[in-house]
A and B are shown apart, each in its own frame.
Chain A
Amino acid sequence: MKRYFKLYLAFVRNCVVREMEFKAHFIAWVLVNVSWLAFTLIFFKILYLNTQTIAGWKPDEMIVFLGVVYILEFFVWTVLYPNMASLPRYINRGELDFILMKPVDAQFFVSARRVSPHNMFSLVIALILLGVGIKQTGLTITLIKTIPFLVLIFGATLACYSVWFMTVTTAFWFGRLGNVQEVFASIWQFARFPREVFKGALRFLLTFVFPVAVATTFPAKLIMGRLDFISALFLLLFSFLLLFASRLFWHLALKRYSSAGG
Chain B
Amino acid sequence: MKKYLALFRISWQNALEYRAESALWIILDLIPLVVVFFLWTTIYADKQEIKGFTLPVLVTYYIIISILANFVEVYFDLWLTDEIREGKIVNFLLRPIDFFRTIFILESAGKLLRTILFLPVLFLIFFLFKSYLVGPQNFWSLVIVFLVLALGYLMFVFVSFLISFAAFWMAESKSLIHAKWIISGLFSGSLVPLAFLPVFMQKIAILLPFRYLYDFPASIYLGKIDGKGIFMGIMIEGIWILALWIVAKKVWQKGIRKFSAVGG
Contact = CB atoms under 8 A, between A and B. Distances in A.
Interface of A: 22, 24-25, 28-29, 31-32, 35-36, 38-39, 42-43, 46-47, 49-51, 54-55, 176-180, 182-183, 186-187, 189-190, 192-193, 196-199, 202
A22 B171 contact: yes
B178 A35 contact: yes
Given A24-B172, A46-B197, 7 more contacts: A24-B171, A32-B175, A46-B196, A46-B198, A177-B20, A189-B32, A197-B38
Contacts of B34: 202
Contact of B28 (A36, A38, A186, A197): A186
B226 interface: no
3 tightest Cβ-Cβ pairs between the two chains A and B: A28-B172, A186-B28, A28-B175
Given A198-B38, A199-B38, A50 B191 contact: no
16 contacts: A25-B172, A28-B172, A31-B175, A35-B179, A39-B191, A46-B191, A47-B43, A50-B43, A50-B51, A54-B39, A54-B42, A55-B42, A176-B20, A177-B24, A179-B24, A202-B34
Contacts of B171: 22, 24-25
Central interface residue in B50, B172, B186, by most chain A CB within 10 Å: B172
Given A28-B172, A190-B35, A193-B35, A50 B196 contact: yes
A24 B171 CA distance: 8
A88 B251 CA distance: 38
Q: How large is the interface on B (under 10, 10 to 19, 20 to 34, 35 or more residues)?
A: 20 to 34
Interface in B184-204: 185-186, 191-192, 196-198
Interface of B: 18, 20-21, 24-25, 28-29, 31-32, 34-35, 38-39, 42-43, 47, 50-51, 171-172, 174-175, 178-179, 182, 185-186, 191-192, 196-198
B43 A202 contact: no
B31 A187 contact: yes
B28 A50 contact: no
Contacts of B28: 182-183, 186
Contact of B31 (A35, A49, A178, A186): A186
Nearest to A178: B21
Given A32-B178, A54-B39, A176-B20, A189 B192 contact: no
